[in-house]
Structure formats: C-alpha cells, structure tokens
Structure 1
Amino acid sequence: MTDRYTVVSADCHAGADLLDYKPYLEKRYHDDFDAWAATYVNPYEDLVADAADRNWNSDRRTAELEADGIVAEVVFPNTIPPFFPSASLMAPAPAPEEYERRWAGLRAHNRWLADFCDLLPGRRAGVAQILLNDVDEAVAEIRRTKDAGLTGGILLPGAPPGSGVPELYSGTYDPIWAVCDELGVPVNHHGGSASPPLGDEPAARAVFMVETTWFSHRALWHLIFGGAFRRHPGLRLVLTEQGSGWIPGVVEMLDYYHGRLVAAATRASTAESKFGAGLAAAMGKGPSEVWRDNCFVGASFMRPHEVPLRDRIGLDKIMWGSDYPHDEGTAPYSREGLRIAYAGLPRDEVAAMVGGNAARVYGFDLGLLDPIAAVHGPTVDGIAEPLKEVPAGATSPAFAPGGSVRVW
C-alpha cells in the first residue's frame, strides 16, 4: 500500500480561450462568431489576466495540479463559450431568439472539452453542457458527448423562477433522466447555476451570496418530489460546490414533509390533503432513501465544521474538490486544505473522500492513477498532521476563521 493518497478533485473548471472556440463551431456560425467576438468584452478579470491560460494550457494545468497533490479532475466549464454574455455556468436560460446560437456555442465547448480531456487520457472527466429549452436536442447531445469520451456526465442548468423553462420537477425532462440512467451518466448540478438575476447593487450582490447555494439545493427536492428516481432508479445526482453541512438537516426536512403529506392524502378532505394527493405513487422511495441510493456531493474545499457530519451525509457520498483555478479554491494549498479538514481521521475514510468516491462515480481507473499519486500525491502522514497555521496567501473559504470553522 502506498504511503500517499490518490487525490481526485471532483470540482475543477476549464474552457477554451475565446477565439479558440471558432474551429469547434459549425461553419455556418463562423461569420456570426467573428462579428460577436470582435465586440465582446469579457466581464471577468481572471479570464483576461496572465493566469487565464490555466483554463486551457494543458501542460501548465497538469504541472500545477500535480504540484498541488492532485492527479485527476472532474472538469466543469469556466470560460465564455460563443454567443454567451457571461460564463455559461452563470448565464440564465436563453430566450427563444437566443437559443439557437447559444446552443451552438455550448456544443462547441463540448467538442473542445473532449479534445482537452484527450490530452491527458484517464485523468480528466469532462462535464458536458446542455440546455433545457429543447429536450430532444439535449438527449442527442448527451448521447454524442458520451460517445466522444466525456466521462464527467452532464451539467444540469438551473431553472430559477422566471427562467422561461419548466421547473426541474416537470415530467418534460423525463427523456433526459432516462438517457442518463441508460448510459450511466451522472447529472451534476453546480453551485451558482440556478440563481435568478438580482442586479448589480451592493445589496443584490450580498443577497446573491446568501441565496445562491439555496437556489442550487432546489434541484434535490425537485427531482425527488418529481419522481425522477422512481422512474429511473439508476439515475445519479451530484450536487457540487454548494456545501455539504446542510444535507442531513435538509434530507430530514424532506422526509418530514414527505411523511406528513402522504399521511394527509389518506385522510378525509382537508386543506392539507390536497398537497399530498398522488405524491406517494409519484415518488416511490422517501427522500432519505433516494439520498442513500442515488445522490452524491461534490464537497469542494470541505470545511472543518462539515467533517463531523460525514457519517450522516454518507462517507460513500463525499467527493472533495479543489475548485482549481478559482480564487476561492484551495490551490496551491490543497495539502493544507486537506489537513485542516481531515487531519486525525481514519486513513480509509480520507482515501474515500479525497479520491475513491470520485473514482467510482466518474469511472476513473485507480490502477492508472495510483502510480501517479505515488509520485505526486500528499502523504498519509502529512495529511494526518493538524494544520497549525493557515498559509499567508490562502484565499479559500476552507481556511476562513471564526464561526464554527475550527483553525488550529
């Protein structure tokens, strides 16, 4: 047994430089792309800075991740795909007149991502993007990207109030759940991707920070109460970069409402009985059973106060992530991020949370990764040592003092 951990980051981000998407667009969009790109102003400072090439420079990225102790990654989007006003992770559902071009832009990103993952075989699980405006198109793209070798599953867009697309509990999306179940494709829902537009006032930005994870959590109860897991029992949902400490309490709350509404539906007509009508038949298993059988958490830069909840969350559910290359991520201090969370825990538990669970969910071959980790991975003894001092340059919330976050 090696004395190092095999670390798989279940939350990293990448994308092409703006003009490099053009070869991946269908040719009929090239003139439109040239006109759009000529006037586009990138709103994100980190995507125009010298460090921006960490998103697409494969050699630099590999070297920095290995130096940080990470040997494989799940790759979510980050840069601006063609015809989008902002990063696609944050962009709202397109209006009908915008849909065709933005859908072309996302497919270009998916093609680029397949090539990018091929540069490092077996070590990048690319997450394909879809839109919810046209379910048949989405299903076709899921099949295509699976065949193209993207093993990270799909990124489920948010459907916040006012988005113009049906809510996620809608039966409209059943063909998407069906094909993901059929192909063994994980459905990923990333934090920040489901908030409604709030404007740009200081208060709006603060409200966004308070509410954004809650809006992302909604996917869990929408799919549970919508019966997606009853109809497609092999469907897997991964909730990424939206914390993990909330899960036990929310699952208990969902169990409470499920039991209360189902019971009410069996009684004589009351005000509450209407809310539970048909729920038991539509859902099948209760929420805690669905969490146990179908759900996982991409617990990016897991915080120390969340770790004592690991048994209630499920040790087989938790997948640590560095969030590279974002400022809020743990790089280049991921070893310290692992220490502040996991020091003193049993080795087998740490191994599962930092790599084993992600390998199982996303299909990484540990036979390939373990020898690489034997060179680059953090040592077992190193992670076991409690962190006494936060690195001066650390910017991740993983290291935030105060509240219930303990810092040694």
Structure 2
Amino acid sequence: MDRYTVISADCHAGADLLDYRPYLEKRHHDDFDAWAATYVNPYEDLLADTADRNWNSGRRVAELEEDGIVAEVVFPNTIPPFFPTASLMAPAPSQQEYEQRWAGLRAHNRWLADFCEEAPGRRAGVAQILLNNVEEAVREVRRVHAAGLTGGILLPGAPPGSGIPELYSQTYDPLWAVCAELGVPVNHHGGSASPPLGDEPAARAVFMVETTWFSHRALWHLIFGGAFRRNPELKLVLTEQGSGWIPRVLDMLDYYHGRLVAAATRANTAESKFGAGLADSMGKGPSEVWRDNCYVGASFMRPHEVPLREKIGLDKIMWGSDYPHDEGTHPYTREGLRIAYAGLPRAEVAAMVGGNTARVYGFDLGLLDPIAAKIGPTVEEIAEPLTKIPADATSPAFARGGSVRVW
C-alpha cells in the first residue's frame, strides 16, 4: 500500500455515568441510584459537549478515520460506578468500599466489551481490575478474556501508603501467571500510580514532575521481583509515560543489577545483603527482560524521542493519539506523525504507527489494511517535514522547546 495502517495504542473511552447502571448486578442498583443522585463529576471534559466522544461509537469512528486511524487500544476514561474520580486516579479502596468498587469496574468491563463489539476488530479494550484480592483479579482476567477484550488488563499502581503489597511482591504471581497463560498484556498507564498529594499549587506542580516516575516504577518492580523469570511469556506495556527515558533507565537498572549480584558473592561487604538472592530470583538482566517482554505505548511520540528508537527497540514502540484527551493529537494526527517521523524509512514508520501494536494486541491486519487503503495517511504525506504547527494544536507532540525540532 501507499498508505500507513495507523493503530493508536493509547485511546480512552467509558460510558456516560447513568449508562453503567444496566451493567451492574441488580443488587447494586439501589446503592448506585443513591450514589449517582448526589455525585458531582470533577472533570470538565466529561461535562463538555465533546464528552460523548467517550461513548458515541459512530462519532468516534468518524473522527478517528478523519485522523487516518483505523483501530485503537481503549483505556478507561469516565467515572465508573462508586468511584470518587476516574479509576486511574482514585485512591485504593478501603475494605468497606472494596465490594462496590469491584462491582463498578466489572460494570465498566461489561460495557467495554459491548462497545468494542460496535466496531468489530477495530477496538482492543483494556479491562480494569483491583489488586486487593489477587484471586478475584485472576477470575476477572479469565472472564474478560473470554468476553473478547483483547487489550489486556490495566495494572493499578501501588503507591506508598496504598495499603496493598508493592508490585514486586510474589503475592501477585497468580495474576502474572494467568496473564502469561492467556497472552493477556499487562498495561500500566501514566498517572495511575502517584500517591495523593493534595490540591495546593505546589502539589499540582509536584504531581506533574513526579507522576511519570511513579508510573515507571512498575518496570523495575516487576523486573527485580522476578515476574518475568517465573512467567517468560508475560508482556508488560508502559503507556503514556514518554519513551525517551527508557535507554537511560535500562542502563541504570543494568548497573544496579550487576553491582548487587556481584556484591552478593562477597559475603563480608556492606552491600552483600542487598544483592542476596537477586540473581536467582530475577533471572535475566533488565535490558534482556526489556528486549524479551516489554513494550512502550509511546503516545504522541515527540521528535526528540525518535532518535532513540533503536536503543528503545524499533519493535517495542507503539504510537498513540490519546484520543479524546486535550493532550491528544486529534484533529492533527497527520501533523503529529509528520513532526515525529518525517524522513524515516517507511518500514520503521509502519512498525511504530501500527505494526507493533497489531502484533502485541492481536489486531488482524487483513481486516485493517483495506480500511487503511482508503483513509490512512499516505507514505508521501508523512515523509514531508512539518514546517508549521497548527495554531490551535494542544498536544505535547507539538510543544516548542530546545529538545523539539521543527522543520
């Protein structure tokens, strides 16, 4: 083809609040009615005229196709039943809240399965779980897999003070095992692992500085915790956390791995206790684990990240538009692709904008390529350097600064 098959590895959707009710078990209906009657949505974008992009299937398909996108990985966005905020941002539930929160997430997962069926083969829905009870999480993984959600699961964060075990804990081994067994990707999304910081101006600024770092923690927790040694088929996807950090963090993790494993052989040193048992528990080194098991949902990949693509791994990078968020590339996805990928070899662009995502999430290119042949961006178009940033573009893909090159 002379067009790219573009699959967004990072989009968001969810039901309008009251539309979740039919997806709840009937025993929760009265509690849901009472909760919904007094609930005040804290997010302006979910109250605006454009909020229906989250659940209006026809509008969504049309706007994505206008942007040249044929398929999407669908993360959550709206407020599930019984949650104070979006599930990505909500604190870990207390025991009293736990049952209702689980009911709300199951309702979202049921709704999402139906939503994906409205565009067969073009949506890979990411199911939601809680970590308070691993056996219950395992049951939900099996249920959503059988229901046809091909996007895998959204791994909640375990920030300090959450009251649940850290992600390196072997408590979660049954969860990693079922995901590896079923080929279910484990997705960890930016913004999902920060501890509550309050709402002062400084707190909001600190959140912006630290939120991606807290999301990155899942990588070294699972590596050092040995999740990939015990489950060699496990796939971890880190989404909307940037991608330029990966090479230097892998270098750092390799350094500590080598240093601690070596120290463990010298029993009389102060460091020996830090590396004791590490080599046996985690197996391969961090860079090898990244090579064999990990991927990055490189949402609206920025120009300064692109030169690092070989160090990150050309087979690891999955571009995403972040539709329908303000920081997403819509309606300037073609320009966002041009500013990042103009001048690169066609095969490399094809892999990053769709091929890798199809492989990781199981999209059928035989179904999607004919659609892309009609609406996808042309190879010639993406090869043309972007000389002017759209005046009303809001995505960080177009951010000005010394590390961002504009032709």
TM category, shorter: over 0.9
Give identity over the alignment, percent. 87
1:244-283 to 2 correspondences below 5 Å: 244-283=243-282
CA displacement at 1:268 relative to structure 2: 2.5
CA displacement at 1:195 relative to structure 2: 0.2
Structure 1 residue runs of 4 or more that deviate by more than 3 Å after TM superposition: none
CA displacement at 1:269 relative to structure 2: 2.1
Consecutive unaligned residues of structure 1, counting only runs of 5 or more, are none
The aligned residue for residue 363 of structure 2 is 364
SS of residue matched to 2:174: helix
Q: What is the rounded CA distance, in whole Å, between the counterparts of 1:43 and 1:407 in structure 2?
A: 36
1:2-401 to 2 correspondences below 5 Å: 2-401=1-400
Q: What is the rounded CA distance, in whole Å, between the counterparts of 1:59 and 1:204 in structure 2?
A: 39
SS of residue matched to 1:71: strand
CA displacement at 1:250 relative to structure 2: 0.2
SS of residue matched to 1:73: strand
Q: What is the rounded CA distance, in whole Å, between the counterparts of 1:183 and 1:290 in structure 2?
A: 19
Consecutive unaligned residues of structure 2, counting only runs of 5 or more, are none
TM-score (norm 2): 1.00
Counterpart amino acid of 1:26? E
Q: What is the rounded CA distance, in whole Å, between the counterparts of 2:48 and 2:267 in structure 1?
A: 65
Q: What is the rounded CA distance, in whole Å, between the counterparts of 1:241 and 1:92 in structure 2?
A: 20
How many matched pairs?
Answer: 407
CA displacement at 1:392 relative to structure 2: 1.0
Q: What is the rounded CA distance, in whole Å, between the counterparts of 1:9 and 1:268 in structure 2?
A: 50
Q: What is the rounded CA distance, in whole Å, between the counterparts of 2:88 and 2:178 in structure 1?
A: 22
SS of residue matched to 2:233: coil
CA displacement at 1:403 relative to structure 2: 2.5
CA displacement at 1:93 relative to structure 2: 1.3
SS of residue matched to 2:270: coil
SS of residue matched to 1:344: coil
Q: What is the rounded CA distance, in whole Å, between the counterparts of 2:252 and 2:91 in structure 1?
A: 29
Deviations 1:63-104 (A, max 9, x none): 000000100000000000000000011112111111100000
Counterpart amino acid of 1:168? L
SS of residue matched to 2:304: helix
Q: What is the rounded CA distance, in whole Å, between the counterparts of 1:188 and 1:371 in structure 2?
A: 28
SS of residue matched to 2:322: coil
Counterpart amino acid of 1:361? V
SS of residue matched to 2:3: coil
Q: What is the rounded CA distance, in whole Å, between the counterparts of 2:189 and 2:28 in structure 1?
A: 29
Q: What is the rounded CA distance, in whole Å, between the counterparts of 2:116 and 2:309 in structure 1?
A: 31
Deviations 1:110-164 (A, max 9, x none): 0000000000000000000000001011000000000000000000000000011
Deviations 1:172-225 (A, max 9, x none): 000000000000000000000000000000000000000000000000000000
Q: What is the rounded CA distance, in whole Å, between the counterparts of 1:134 and 1:198 in structure 2?
A: 26
